[in-house]
Structure 1
């Protein structure tokens, strides 16, 4: 098995792709179509975020695109009650409606941390909000 190069622009996982678009400070995650998130996936995502941030020595303004998610296991839901990886300074959740909006709102209510988090239906608005959070925190 080959070691993962966390300095890459894009890393493919079983559940999603995580990438830095165009040298942006926003790290994006796109959940694969109709995927049911498991606890192992949630742990792998957190580890990947931390390692990608460390490889660039930078904070993460994270956008989770869950528009195409199918569901999340109860164990994955429990995982999201835990603190986010420390490199994450703000999180935008991109949802389409119905199921993804319900899961996004569920995550935001579960995550009672001091990290700014917000649900969006528009990708550009989500990115603009994350960049605004970065400016506020500098």
Structure 2
């Protein structure tokens, strides 16, 4: 995170690194082998505390996640999308691509959601959802 301007309000929690950049919320998940329901709920709770009732288009960097449970994906697709106008999921491996595709196609998130392999494209897509 050292290359970001000091003016960014970066919050590091037990599960995430959170900051807003040019009107887009970035949620960077920390290294974890398995995201289960309790972990997903904690991540959403930390995000909601950070945004303080403001809705953002959001980039979810899951490049350091190995797997997730069905319960976690179901929660994230529905209740977990509170105060998210659109979701860009940043992935880095074929396994994450398969998981993200499954999440989008089967869990059917309640907001516009796309998967990306590069941050720049994800941020460009999310920009159309800014207030």
| Alignment TM-score, normalising by the size of structure 2 | 0.79
Structure 1 gap segments, 5+ residues each? 1-7
What are the Cα deviations for residues 1-25 of structure 1, in whole angstroms up to 9, with x where unaligned?
A: xxxxxxx82232333322224xx21
3-state SS of 1:35 partner: strand
Residue 78 of structure 1 is matched in structure 2 by: 74
Q: When you count strand as a share of all residues, which structure comes out higher? A: 2
Deviation at residue 98 of structure 1 after TM alignment: 1.2
* Alignment counterpart, residue 108 of structure 2, candidates 108, 111, 115: 111
1:16-31 alignment runs, 5 A limit: 16-21=16-21, 24-31=22-29
Structure 2 gap segments, 5+ residues each? 1-7
Number of matched pairs: 123
- Residues in 2 aligned to 1:78 and 1:38: alpha-carbon distance in whole angstroms: 11
Deviation at residue 34 of structure 1 after TM alignment: 4.4
| Alignment TM-score, normalising by the size of structure 1 | 0.75
What root-mean-square deviation, in Å, do the aligned CA atoms of Structure 1 and Structure 2 show?
A: 2.1
1:94-133 alignment runs, 5 A limit: 94-109=90-105, 110-113=107-110, 115-133=111-129
